[in-house]
A and B are shown apart, each in its own frame.
Chain A
Amino acid sequence: MIDKLALRLSQYPARLKFALWVLLLCITTLTGIQLWQGGAKIQSDILAMLPKIQEDPLTETALARVEEQLSNTVYIALLAEDESQAITAAQTLIESLSSDNRGAFVDIRSADINQAQALNHFYFNHRFNLLTQAQATALSSGKLSELIEQAQSQLYNAFGYANSSLIANDPLLLYPDNLRALAPKQTLQVQQGILLGQWSPTEADESSNPPTKVAAIVMAKGVGSAFNPNTQELQMAVLQEAFETVESQNKQIAFLKAGALFHASAATKSAKSEVSTLGLASLIGVSLLVWLAFRSVMPLGIALLTITTSLLSAVVMTLLIFSELHLLTLVFGTSLIGIAIDYNFHFYCERLAQAEKSANDIIKQIFPAISLALLTSVLAYSGIGLAPFPGMQQVAVFCAAGLFGAYITLSLAYPLLAAGPLPSGEKPLTMAAAYLKKLNSISQLLNIKTGMALLFISVILAAFGLHRLTSDDDIRNLQQSPESVLNEEQQLRSILSGGTDNQFLLVRGETEEQLLQRLEILTPKLNNAVEEGLIGNAFSLSNYLPSKSKQESNYHLQGLIYQQHLAKIFESLGLDDSLSSDLVEAYQKAKGSYIDAESFISSDAGKLFKPLWIKPTPLQDQYGAIVLLGGITEIDKLESFFTEQPYVQLVDKVGEISGVMGQYRQLTLWLLAIAMAIAALIFSTRFGIKLAAFVVAVPALSAVLTLSLLGLIGAPLTLFHALALILVFGIGVDYSLFFAESKQQSRGVMMAVFMSASSTILAFGLLAFSSTPAIHSFGLTLLLGIGFTFMLSPFIQTFTRTFK
């Protein structure tokens, strides 16, 4: 069937085919331009390429809330010799960021004075429902005199909080302690509205720096996703300008930065530089290869044309399907240069080998092999595309579309464009022939005994390697930020004393009251977890939202003060008697007015905590509260820590995704086996079962050898290794296909395979030098796999000679 198609195709005039090609090219280009203007963008969010995990709606909401909250904020520490310098610098920075009118940041702040006022404003009206544990105990055990004594002592303190206004409303001064219970233990000070912390240099540079500095903290919320390169660029530029303004006033100020923005920006930068350096190196290498082989400008020009059209169709197709292009796709995509060029090599090598034939004839001749190659490659890419990673699906579409572009160019444009004569190239062909001959003689030298011995040794080695092969599916490996970014972040964390991890607890309840009571039960457990060192800190809404039953009991206890012993209290403290009726009235009026979640989170005081409270929606009918955790040490123990509370769920997205990665790694390996079987089936219709098995055996053996080599060098297996193996199959099977198709005239094929293996290794091997671990593993696997395939595939010819 393929042969017929090749024949039909060769009968059309070259000009007609060329016109068709130009038409297709124009359509693609126009579509691309339209897509780009329609808002297609480059995406650098590593999260965008991670698999989507199905969660129940409540967990889904909670995850979205936490992520949104975490990803947009940037933290800046300004380090100065003394407090006043730090404060001035922080004020300058805030002013500079706020006055910028490009809208890069909102919520630029240090200490939020208004928030403190808002909390006070909210809770003061509910003071009759609030008691600290100690106050409640004192009241319920009849130790009112103790509370009176404490109030007395406060009254005498000139620097304390007792003043006429407060005493008139709260004679025992109970409220300040309750407000204080809402405040965190913190090591930061506030001066003139600026948060100040202490910064100590790390041990390494202790000698060169003064012992400690004052760090002023400024926070800002970025507008838009920190992972969008345009947003990133804007935010970084605005920050840089603000830093320069601060520096122009005081050169001594040093900066520390933390936030997703800086990770994302570093990732974009490294990806961009990798795309350009790896891409350029790969392009230069391939061009050099073409020049050396054919010694003519024409093949080089045609090669570049093939690569260009291939990249064009790849980008346009990806944008068409995903309406965005992931930066990682582009990095992977640079390797397309190495694959797309293969078709070109086959064509030219055949022309070189059979100088007497026309371009059209050559195409007719290699068309079946190339079509099969395209088919298997697309099959391989579909395997990659089956992985639940939007990012990998993009890579698959990108590469498949790119190959298709190259294929179309070869079949439609080559007959006209590449028809020019080639300078005779006997030398490389002779070298290829000599190499084949040498291989041939080696294979003939092998007798059964040495063959068996060799086989035995390789089986042992492979088994040993496979046995040592470990796996690591931690998705945190995907993102390897530069040391400097991590270092600054670590220093900022230590100034802020801790941080929040991305794992959190989700507590559920059927009603608001039930949820609040559950949070109250959870509080002592969290304290235990902190004491046992399982977590560094935890933040629960429980302090801010006491349950109704607790408020009721507190109100009731305060009746002892306002309804039974007010006269005694007034006498002991020497208070003006005229105040007493107002107090009693205020107490009675407060009956039944409770703090509730809705009014809290919609108040100025609680708007900050709004993300932590989840109300029922049409999709789910439960209430949920997020409890943030920081400094988690042992996640497994933590998980079992809450088994007695089935309504508490530890949400660990990183862990879950890593688990899914592991599942798909295994699935991918199975898919590889299935793809091989299907390919063997397709081939057997053309070659017969034996040769088909042999053709597939070459990439299969290469895959096994690659795996065992990875085991030997101790690289843990990841999904990316598995995906790369699929590609090894997709590309590697081409080599054996070409050899199988070529039958006796194999020196052209040998040269083409040599060149295509070289170019693939150039392209993918270079990926092994990427600083992103995922890309590195991908590249390394391909480097090894293609290497093995290249070494093994010429033996197909031995097989065809021996058995046909």
Chain B
Amino acid sequence: MKTRERPYSTWFAIGLLRGKSVFGLLLLLNLSIFNCHATQSSNYDTLFKSSADNERLQALAERLIIGENASGSFTQHRTLKVLKKPLISHGRFIFDYRLGLVWQQTQPFETTLILKEGELIQIDSAGRRQVSQAGSNQGAAAIAQTMPKLLSALLSGNLSDLSEHFNLYLKADDTRSEPQEGEPAHWQLGLIPKDPLLVKAIPQMVLEGDKQVSALILLSDNGDSSRIEFEQISKAPLSQEQRLLLSDKQGEDSPKVQPEAKPEPYP
């Protein structure tokens, strides 16, 4: 059989790749066509007017550095306008600069999200696993790109990495006087994604803290918001059990739910 890589065929061959990737980050569009109520939480208006300069960012970064790994628990308050009451969930997280991130919700039901090396593993309440390669579909790609970058930059205090992907705004109480010893000033860091698609999904983010990061707030244009509060952040080296969870060893013998097999479509 002749190889198909002959020149005549390749003229044609690369052809209809055109538009192959136009679907990138499709879901991240956040269905912006319905965003008719552009109510912006005014709490943060002043924050997003104060651009962060490098010097102050650096000062913040130095205080934030927590090392290569972290673990802790979180409480998430999610307020959606169409719901009668806010959704509150609890869980824990494990982060390692090299290994990746485990985001495990324990209440009101258990779901786990493991991100490592561009792979996103989702385990739902029934224990079904879905593995997707970063980029294999938009949703996964978006989260896979944003979350680890954000968190690893935040948790390791690498703010220059952050500024590559976000416009940064800083409001800190340390502008008036030197922070008192043992009494760290409260600060807010505003982030607006530079990526035009990401900015549609998450128009604004706010990171709050004093000595450490204490909360991450996601704001959307339609009035929905999510507030994730970090608690008991530990910089101690990860335990064996935590490492095991991160490396997701148990996943290898359980069957993986693959996305529907379908021809790879692109014109």
CB distance from A113 to the nearest CB of B (A): 6
* Interface: B104 (CB within 8 A): no
CB distance from B103 to the nearest CB of A (A): 9
Q: Which residues of A contact B10 (CB under 8 A)?
A: 263, 486, 489, 499
Q: Which residues of A contact B55 (CB under 8 A)?
A: none
Task: Provide the A102-125 mask, 1 if CB < 8 A to any CB of B, else 0.
Answer: 000000000111011101110010
Q: In chain B, residues 1-50, which have Cβ atoms closer than 8 Å to a Cβ of chain A?
A: 1-2, 4-36
* Interface: A449 (CB within 8 A): no
Of A163, A185, A539, which one neighbours B137 at CB under 8 angstroms? A185
Q: Which residues of A contact B85 (CB under 8 A)?
A: 574
Compute how far the CA of A533 lies from the CA of B96 in the bound complex, rounded to whole angstroms: 39
Indicate whether A191 sits within 8 Å of B263 (C-beta atoms), given known contacts A260-B11, A479-B8, A481-B7.
Answer: no
Q: Which residues of B contact A71 (CB under 8 A)?
A: 11-12, 15
Q: Are A195 and B17 in contact (CB under 8 A)?
A: no
Q: Which of B168-176, B194-202, B242-250 contacts A (4 or more CB under 8 A)?
A: B194-202
* Interface: A717 (CB within 8 A): no
Q: Are B20 and A476 in contact (CB under 8 A)?
A: no
Q: Are A476 and B17 in contact (CB under 8 A)?
A: no
Indicate whether A539 sits within 8 Å of B26 (C-beta atoms), given known contacts A75-B14, A501-B4.
Answer: no
Q: In chain B, residues 120-137, which have Cβ atoms closer than 8 Å to a Cβ of chain A?
A: 124-126, 133-137
Q: Which residues of B contact A195 (CB under 8 A)?
A: 21, 24
Q: Are B264 and A498 in contact (CB under 8 A)?
A: yes
Q: Are B260 and A179 in contact (CB under 8 A)?
A: no
Q: Are A158 and B218 in contact (CB under 8 A)?
A: yes
* Interface: A42 (CB within 8 A): no
* Interface: A212 (CB within 8 A): no
Of B23, B29, B261, which one neighbours A182 at CB under 8 angstroms? B23
* Interface: A241 (CB within 8 A): no
CB distance from A249 to the nearest CB of B (A): 17
Q: Which residues of A contact B259 (CB under 8 A)?
A: 185
Of B7, B34, B87, B147, which one neighbours A165 at CB under 8 angstroms? B34
CB distance from B84 to the nearest CB of A (A): 5
Compute how far the CA of A628 lies from the CA of B259 in the bound complex, rounded to whole angstroms: 22
Q: Which residues of A contact B223 (CB under 8 A)?
A: 164
Q: Are B133 and A176 in contact (CB under 8 A)?
A: no
CB distance from A101 to the nearest CB of B (A): 24
Q: Are A537 and B263 in contact (CB under 8 A)?
A: yes
Q: Which residues of B contact A46 (CB under 8 A)?
A: 8
Compute how far the CA of A641 lies from the CA of B121 in the bound complex, rounded to whole angstroms: 36
Question: From A539, which residue of chain B is reached at the shortest CB distance?
Answer: B265
CB distance from B19 to the nearest CB of A (A): 5
Q: Which of B60-68, B73-81, B233-241 contacts A (4 or more CB under 8 A)?
A: B73-81
Q: Which residues of B contact A189 (CB under 8 A)?
A: 24, 134-135, 141, 145
* Interface: B224 (CB within 8 A): yes
Q: Which residues of B contact A803 (CB under 8 A)?
A: none
Q: Which residues of B contact A117 (CB under 8 A)?
A: 29, 32-33
Q: Which residues of B contact A190 (CB under 8 A)?
A: 21, 24-25, 141, 195, 197
* Interface: A161 (CB within 8 A): yes
Question: From B141, which residue of chain A is reached at the shortest CB distance?
Answer: A189
Q: Are B265 and A540 in contact (CB under 8 A)?
A: yes
Q: Are B194 and A192 in contact (CB under 8 A)?
A: yes
Compute how far the CA of A608 lies from the CA of B18 in the bound complex, rounded to whole angstroms: 8
Of A180, A258, A476, which one neighbours B8 at CB under 8 angstroms? A476
Q: Are B264 and A537 in contact (CB under 8 A)?
A: yes
Task: Provide the B133-158 mask, 1 if CB < 8 A to any CB of A, else 0.
Answer: 11111110101011100000000000
* Interface: A193 (CB within 8 A): yes
Question: From A258, which residue of chain B is reached at the shortest CB distance?
Answer: B14
Q: Are A608 and B19 in contact (CB under 8 A)?
A: yes
Q: Which residues of B contact A634 (CB under 8 A)?
A: 1
Indicate whether A180 sits within 8 Å of B27 (C-beta atoms), given known contacts A501-B12, A539-B266, A634-B1.
Answer: yes
Q: Which residues of B contact A169 (CB under 8 A)?
A: 34
Instruction: Kindly name the residue among B14, B76, B78 whose own CB sees the greatest number of chain A CB atoms within 10 A.
Output: B14
Compute how far the CA of A475 lies from the CA of B11 in the bound complex, rounded to whole angstroms: 13
Q: Which residues of A contact B139 (CB under 8 A)?
A: 160-161, 176, 180
Q: Are B267 and A121 in contact (CB under 8 A)?
A: no
Indicate whether A543 sits within 8 Å of B21 (C-beta atoms), given known contacts A156-B87, A181-B260.
Answer: no
Indicate whether A539 sits within 8 Å of B264 (C-beta atoms), given known contacts A116-B23, A186-B136, A496-B20.
Answer: yes
Instruction: Kindly name the residue among B136, B138, B222, B223 whose own CB sees the greatest number of chain A CB atoms within 10 A.
Output: B138
Indicate whether A633 sits within 8 Å of B1 (C-beta atoms), given known contacts A116-B22, A159-B147.
Answer: yes
Task: Provide the A133-166 mask, 1 if CB < 8 A to any CB of B, else 0.
Answer: 1100000000000000110110111111111111
Q: In chain B, residues 190-225, which have Cβ atoms closer than 8 Å to a Cβ of chain A?
A: 194-197, 201-202, 218, 220, 222-224
Compute how far the CA of A503 lies from the CA of B2 in the bound complex, rounded to whole angstroms: 14
Q: Which residues of B contact A475 (CB under 8 A)?
A: 8
Of A121, A187, A490, A612, which one neighbours B135 at CB under 8 angstroms? A187
* Interface: B82 (CB within 8 A): yes
Q: Are A155 and B29 in contact (CB under 8 A)?
A: no
Compute how far the CA of A458 lies from the CA of B26 in the bound complex, rounded to whole angstroms: 73
* Interface: B89 (CB within 8 A): yes
Compute how far the CA of A500 lies from the CA of B262 in the bound complex, rounded to whole angstroms: 16
Q: In chain A, residues 301-315, which have Cβ atoms closer than 8 Å to a Cβ of chain B?
A: none
Compute how far the CA of A188 lies from the CA of B136 in the bound complex, rounded to whole angstroms: 8
* Interface: A269 (CB within 8 A): no
Compute how far the CA of A179 lies from the CA of B138 in the bound complex, rounded to whole angstroms: 10
Q: In chain A, residues 703-745, which have Cβ atoms closer than 8 Å to a Cβ of chain B?
A: none
Q: Are B24 and A116 in contact (CB under 8 A)?
A: yes
Q: Are A575 and B83 in contact (CB under 8 A)?
A: yes
Q: Which residues of B contact A611 (CB under 8 A)?
A: 267
Task: Provide the A469-480 mask, 1 if CB < 8 A to any CB of B, else 0.
Answer: 000001110111
CB distance from A84 to the nearest CB of B (A): 5
CB distance from A161 to the nearest CB of B (A): 5
CB distance from A537 to the nearest CB of B (A): 4
Q: Are B83 and A628 in contact (CB under 8 A)?
A: no
Question: From A146, which residue of chain B is reached at the shortest CB distance?
Answer: B126
Q: Are B20 and A184 in contact (CB under 8 A)?
A: yes
Compute how far the CA of A195 lies from the CA of B24 in the bound complex, rounded to whole angstroms: 8
CB distance from A366 to the nearest CB of B (A): 47
Q: Which residues of B contact A753 (CB under 8 A)?
A: none
Q: Which residues of B contact A499 (CB under 8 A)?
A: 10, 13-15, 17
Top 8 nearest A-B pairs (CB, nearest first) are: A70-B15, A502-B12, A190-B24, A165-B34, A183-B23, A476-B8, A537-B264, A158-B226
CB<8 Å pairs between A and B, sample of 30: A73-B14, A73-B17, A84-B164, A111-B21, A116-B25, A119-B22, A134-B260, A149-B125, A153-B125, A158-B226, A159-B202, A161-B139, A163-B30, A164-B223, A165-B31, A180-B139, A182-B265, A183-B26, A188-B20, A189-B145, A193-B197, A476-B6, A496-B17, A496-B20, A501-B4, A526-B263, A538-B263, A540-B265, A608-B267, A630-B13
Q: A112-B22, A181-B260, A630-B13 are in contact. List 7 more A-B contacts (CB 8 A).
A: A156-B105, A169-B34, A179-B27, A189-B134, A258-B14, A527-B263, A630-B264
A→B interface (CB under 8 Å): 46, 66-67, 69-71, 73, 75, 84, 111-113, 115-117, 119-121, 124, 132-134, 149-150, 152-153, 155-169, 176, 179-193, 195, 217, 219, 221, 258-260, 263, 474-476, 478-481, 486, 489-490, 492-493, 496, 498-503, 523, 526-527, 530-531, 536-540, 543, 573-576, 579, 608-609, 611-612, 628, 630-636, 654
